[in-house]
Chains A and B, each alone.
Chain A
């Protein structure tokens, strides 16, 4: 029983190339070089470890070579490829070079896209990259994890999220102020009675501020708790939606502290601003006499 299905996949090794291939699965004698197949491709084509597949570098699937699936792997999560179907196969570098070599160009067997270099001391990486850059004309040497071009979209997204957060905080502040105005109105007579029995304005102000801090802290803590509870659900939804192992939401202590640093002063300021008219008012006016 042989199933032939044309499938577009990315073949990966130390060399990386996007190719169209013909995949074939069969239960065949133990031959062929080993390849790893991504989880997504295994599921999409109902492949199993041990199956033989044919890979071709040609768009029409001609000149295929047989490989045996020796394992399944989870592709490294890549935010740049969010939404892309990760149909990928990993080959040994010589196998990939053989598969792609046209025979007409001797350089085909000597060409790779990139060479990964592990240096003895990470602090020397920059200096070694500079030395390689001058020693091999035409080559680009750069530190891994220092690729500004790859990081740029996330810097932009971070700015976008910050802008949305600023607008949300502004809207929340107005909401809070409106709410506090209403609640303070209900306390008009209470403040009037406190003033009548001898409480000074500063003493009442201390009460108001203390109450504001407690409410703001409680609100911020509840908000962070809600975020922590929700982050699992949000991550699960988006990981399911995009079929990826990427983590979309992570509530870190830094994020929590930043939220508190914004929410508490805003809450206190809203309570203080809304209470100000009561504190400045005449006692008789407050008690409606």
Chain B
């Protein structure tokens, strides 16, 4: 406690230097905090996004868990086979297509279309109007807000849709749909035009009779791992994958750039922080050599003098580290806004996501940096020759 008070008084005696040291550590600490948020931000955010949809297993025709790859044939049969499993609560086939909405006057608006049958679970949230209904004539269509803004037509209007469902085929004849609602889709980016119709309606719009799906969305009843095992046993030709496995795959393949840049910048930040603290403490010790020698002559032990240096470093880093957290949070909002301008990033995803473990890691890294950075000035103080230092000071 006495070492703490003594070190605090030493710092207060040099307010300008102390303030600059704390501000510098706060800035470095904020950057370190942000890099820790970035290191797992996308993964945590992507996992939350997948879980929010309400399906915990996806089944595809190949080992790619993303839609718009090789389509599954006889999807209705496959869905029925999977739905029979006791480990499965619900199965919904999903098909995607690209195309355009043809507006009066010939203007077209490009959009991505999803064909999904209405069910109790659906990966969208109705903002206005109604949800899809199989009984609507002409077939119902629900669109997202950017598409609604782009076409500028009210709910209840009829829309002409021209779908391109297969790159090997010509675009099909336009079909008419009734706009029944506007919804938010979790995987949309801020500028993406998206619409959803029933799978049968999309098949008609595509002008083919192929019972295909990009994937089966599966909600398990007794855990995703058990559902995956049961699906694999029943249909070895299909590729089921859990949300956790998708996240793990994205972590090793898709999000590596940001993990790498986070690791590089965290390392550089820590080195920078180490240099900052070492230089501050070392210069401070060098300027106080006479004072420290006098204290030693008065009876301060080596340990006590070294502890004083360490506590000074700990106080600087502690105050700077605490300030770094709100500063880092504010900075992360700015950086997140910059990165979210990247095309294809869902609006609901974030690059910087706070987790309690980030605080613990941040504190541990700063503590380790303080220990390392204090080592050299502590060593200088511990081996300080009392008599010759005092003599040099008097002569000087």
Give A contacts to B, CB under 8 Å.
Answer: 8, 17-20, 59-60, 82-85, 100, 102, 105, 107-108, 111, 113, 138, 149, 152-153, 156-157, 159-160, 163-164, 167-168, 170-172, 174-175, 177-179, 181-183, 185-186, 238, 241-242
Contact = CB atoms under 8 A, between A and B. Distances in A.
Nearest to A113: B167
| 9 nearest CB pairs, A to B | A171-B27, A178-B20, A174-B24, A182-B283, A156-B342, A83-B256, A20-B62, A175-B24, A59-B61
A182 B257 contact: no
Nearest to A152: B343
A149 B343 contact: yes
Interface string B254-275: 1011001000010000001000
A138 B280 contact: no
A185 to B, nearest CB: 7
A160 B167 CA distance: 36
Contacts, number: 106
Contacts of A102: 168
A174 B16 CA distance: 11
Contacts of B254: 83
A171 B257 contact: no
Contacts of A172: 272
Given A174-B20, A178-B20, A185-B287, A167 B331 contact: yes
A20 B31 contact: no
Interface in B168-216: 168-171
Interface of B: 16-17, 20-21, 23-24, 27-28, 30-31, 61-64, 69-70, 72, 167-171, 237, 252-254, 256-257, 260, 265, 272, 276, 279-280, 283-284, 287, 331, 334-335, 338-339, 341-343
Q: Is the interface of B mostly helix, strand, loop or mixed?
A: helix
B338 A163 contact: yes
B283 A171 contact: no
A172 B169 CA distance: 59
A54 B338 CA distance: 46
B339 to A, nearest CB: 6
Given A178-B24, A182-B17, 14 more contacts: A18-B64, A59-B62, A59-B70, A107-B168, A107-B170, A113-B167, A153-B342, A157-B342, A160-B335, A160-B338, A164-B265, A168-B31, A179-B279, A186-B287
Contact of B16 (A100, A153, A181): A181
Contact of A183 (B30, B64, B260, B283): B283
A156 B341 contact: yes
A153 B237 CA distance: 36
Contacts of B23: 174
B24 A60 contact: no
Contacts of B338: 156, 159-160, 163
A217 B61 CA distance: 61
Nearest to B255: A83
A175 B260 CA distance: 26
A157 B17 CA distance: 36
Given A178-B21, A182-B284, A105 B30 contact: no
Nearest to B171: A138
B253 A174 contact: no
10 contacts: A20-B62, A111-B169, A152-B343, A163-B338, A167-B31, A171-B27, A177-B20, A178-B20, A179-B279, A182-B287
